[in-house]
Structure 1
Amino acid sequence: MLLLMDAYACPRCHIRSTVDALTWCCPKCRGPWDLVFASTPVPLASLASRVNSLWRYAEALPPLPCGPEVTLGEGRTPLVPLTDAVSAKLDFLMPSLSFKDRGAVMLAALARGLRPRTVLADSSGNAGTAIAAYGARAGLDCVVYVPAGTSPKKLEQIRAHGARVVEVPGDREATARAAREAAGEPGVFYASHVYNPYFLHGTKTYVYELWEELGGRLPDTVVVPVGNGTLLLGAFLAVEELHRHGLVDTRPALVAVQAEAVSPLARAFRAGAEDLTGTTVARPTLAEGIAIPAPPRARQILRAVRATGGTFLTVTEEQIRTAQRDLARRGLFVEATGAACWAATSATPPRPGLTVVPLCGAGAKTGLVP
């Protein structure tokens, strides 16, 4: 069995578990784990000669036994201007065509060392395709739970990588519940992009790349789509690390975007609450990737946005539709969820300085929305 020095820790109960166990959540509160890990400063001057993947930021990544062996060259995506004040980071130009590759490679590397019987994931599509791709690269047996009605192109992609698909009747939350139940079976590694913190330490490389691209500084504002909050929380980890190591002087504001149809975090933020308020009924939305009515890391997401002086923005279905077409006319074909941040940024008075938005998933996965 693989032994690693880092440990899982529950931020609420302060219970710990070794990372070589297949325990996927806190046994007391059933909440997601954090990772007890201390990064060291990444030397900016040495990066030009390093490997062209997220493993170039080795000092910032928790130790894994076989990370470089399972890489597909993820990361190092282009940063291109949309306006004088807004640039887009093209994370849809990843091996599996979404930003989820940043976290999936971390989970695949961890799972390969643990040697489980099966790797299990649940997803509305993109995390599932990423886990399937990196699971194939790592030689792992994978099964992916998805909601009934998931994009046929995403299902085709998952199956092409050799993973088995389980379609669950109901919405994204029903899928998560079914996956969590199956995750308790012996020999199963739950490659959850929500519960497993290694995923967040992969997504934080998004901000490390911005820092490198901008010559050792960060944008003034980073806008991210938020459902389960994996990109936002990874970004917050990176911002805090860079600031703590003295590699940046100021922190960017993290602005979170949700679809109006499913916006529990935005509602809680505006109410001044520390956690979700009431029950959210998931209404249909074009932004299926962020249609999460009860994100398990809600408290952490709200704290991160407030700590950076950020805010929450919501967008209508028509704004999402318009933004996707506008980006396509600029040469950037992304899925509707990926267009949500551009929709919000276009409709909001600009903040001073440089704003960066992610374009997270390729339009080829879902097509142009009607």
Structure 2
Amino acid sequence: MIRMVCPTCKKAAPDSMAYRCPDCGEPFELEFEARFPIDKIRKRKANLWRYREAIPIESDEDIVSFEEGFTPLLKFDILGHPVWVKQDHLFPSGSYKDRGASVLISYVRSMRIENVVEDSSGNAGCSIAMYATAAGIECEVFVPQVTSPAKMEQARMLGARLRKIPGSRQETAQAVLEEAKRAYYASHVYNPYFLQGTKTLAYEIVEQMEWTAPDSLILPIGNGTLLLGVYNGFKDLIQAGIIHKMPKLIGIQTESCNPLASAWEQQSAKPISIVLQPTVAEGIAIAQPVHGKHILSVVRETGGALLSVTEEAILRNWREMAKKGFFMELTSATAFAGIERVFESESRPEGTTVSLITGHGLKSIGHF
């Protein structure tokens, strides 16, 4: 049984179009029991839908997929420490956001919805546009006017109607809400089905590590859809008895936009109000993260941390990773600047560390 429920009020969603609780404003969560028939999983194609019994789409006929997922997990040296890196820039649209978009648009198709709206700094918009086009669903994407031209052109070529919004990423998020009264809001931030896709990163890591969990996972973080997704994924695996520990989740922000890392440093239970500064990490330039309180709670529960890195460190790690053969967008390099900071600290993690490349370098080429 699949139920969409408010985590605060515990009330069920009033209808299929709802994306947040009408009483308290909290994004809805899904109640769903994930199952892992490992013998069947091992025989299936190497994509994220191999975990079929753990993804809440009722009919196979509604699945919208490019056989995405099961990206390579490679081990290499960073500052003398072994780090396992998932290659999620190799997804069809060039971003890990395809995980969430495949599941979310499959749900949209199951509801026979004909048009959707989305707001994005670029990658999620491209991904939603790609899957919506494949499903025959009309799509309009709201983007900040300063978004990378390469990302805007990709979304447009994939069939999206673009609406460029002057101002910040937050102002773009506000602008889409009016349109969401008339069309289905296929939000990668609010919609819980998107997290049901990003959680498959946790499943893949565990399977690729011989059904064991890593000790730490280091990720870039803005709205937190990746961190919360993997938290849900690891929790599913614990509840199913596949693994027996939750990895430490370590989220990395740029000093130019760090409401979560600032809150962590000040031991606050909610994000700190900040003034957004220009940043090369456009994908995580989120001054007011919707899931902020939940992110802080989850990171604290796992024994992880939320840290800031400089713009200079992001650029330096971006160049250094390119010399190793990994051309990633600058937002992705935030994680590697974070790895550098974590391993240079006195409280460096022990055991197995995993990170990932979230987006391809071609996404923002020429923008910076």
TM bucket by the smaller chain?
Answer: over 0.9
Aligned residue among 73, 81, 87 for 1:79? 73
Distance 2:341 2:324 in 1: 17
Contact 2:83 2:353 in 1 (8 A): yes
| Residues 172-191 of structure 1 mapped to structure 2, 5 A cutoff | 172-185=169-182, 188-191=183-186
Q: Does 1:60 align with 2:58?
A: no
Distance 1:344 1:24 in 2: 32
| Structure 2 equivalent of residue 218 of structure 1 | 213
Q: Does 1:309 align with 2:300?
A: no
> C-alpha deviations, 1:222-277, integer Å up to 9, x for none?
01111000000011001111112211122210001111111101111222222123
Aligned residue among 95, 119, 123 for 1:122? 119
Q: Does 1:367 align with 2:365?
A: yes
Distance 1:281 1:118 in 2: 35
TM-score, normalised to structure 2's length?
Answer: 0.94
Instruction: Mark the CA change 1:68 to 1:343 in structure 2 (over 3 Å): closer, same or farther.
Output: farther
Q: Which amino acid aligns with 1:318?
A: E
| Structure 1 equivalent of residue 197 of structure 2 | 202
Instruction: Mark the CA change 1:81 to 1:60 in structure 2 (over 3 Å): closer, same or farther.
Output: same
Q: Which amino acid aligns with 1:184?
A: K
Q: Does 1:12 align with 2:8?
A: yes
Report the 3-state secondary structure (helix = DSSP H, G, I; strand = E; otherwise coil) of the residue aligned with 1:347.
Answer: helix
Distance 1:347 1:98 in 2: 24
Alignment root-mean-square deviation, CA: 1.5
Distance 1:76 1:368 in 2: 29
Contact 2:150 2:365 in 1 (8 A): no
Q: Once the 2 structures are TM-superposed, how far is the Cα of residue 46 of structure 1 from its aligned partner?
A: 3.2
Percent identical: 42
Distance 1:363 1:138 in 2: 27
Aligned residue among 10, 32, 38 for 1:44? 38
Aligned residue among 321, 329, 334 for 2:328? 334
Report the 3-state secondary structure (helix = DSSP H, G, I; strand = E; otherwise coil) of the residue aligned with 1:16.
Answer: coil
Q: Once the 2 structures are TM-superposed, how far is the Cα of residue 71 of structure 1 from its aligned partner?
A: 0.4
Report the 3-state secondary structure (helix = DSSP H, G, I; strand = E; otherwise coil) of the residue aligned with 2:128.
Answer: helix
Q: Does 1:355 align with 2:350?
A: no
| Structure 2 equivalent of residue 135 of structure 1 | 132
| Structure 1 equivalent of residue 231 of structure 2 | 236
Q: Does 1:264 align with 2:254?
A: no
Distance 2:114 2:228 in 1: 30
Contact 1:54 1:102 in 2 (8 A): yes
| Structure 2 equivalent of residue 254 of structure 1 | 249
Distance 2:151 2:263 in 1: 32
Distance 1:173 1:369 in 2: 20
Distance 2:359 2:61 in 1: 23
Q: Which amino acid aligns with 1:50?
A: R
The count of corresponding residues between Structure 1 and Structure 2 is 361
Distance 2:101 2:204 in 1: 17
Report the 3-state secondary structure (helix = DSSP H, G, I; strand = E; otherwise coil) of the residue aligned with 2:89.
Answer: coil
Segments of structure 2 that go 5 or more residues without pairing to the other structure are: none
> C-alpha deviations, 1:13-70, integer Å up to 9, x for none?
222116x621121111222111121212x13343221122211011211134346741
Report the 3-state secondary structure (helix = DSSP H, G, I; strand = E; otherwise coil) of the residue aligned with 1:106.
Answer: helix
Q: Which amino acid aligns with 1:55?
A: W
Distance 1:291 1:64 in 2: 35
Instruction: Mark the CA change 1:135 to 1:366 in structure 2 (over 3 Å): closer, same or farther.
Output: same
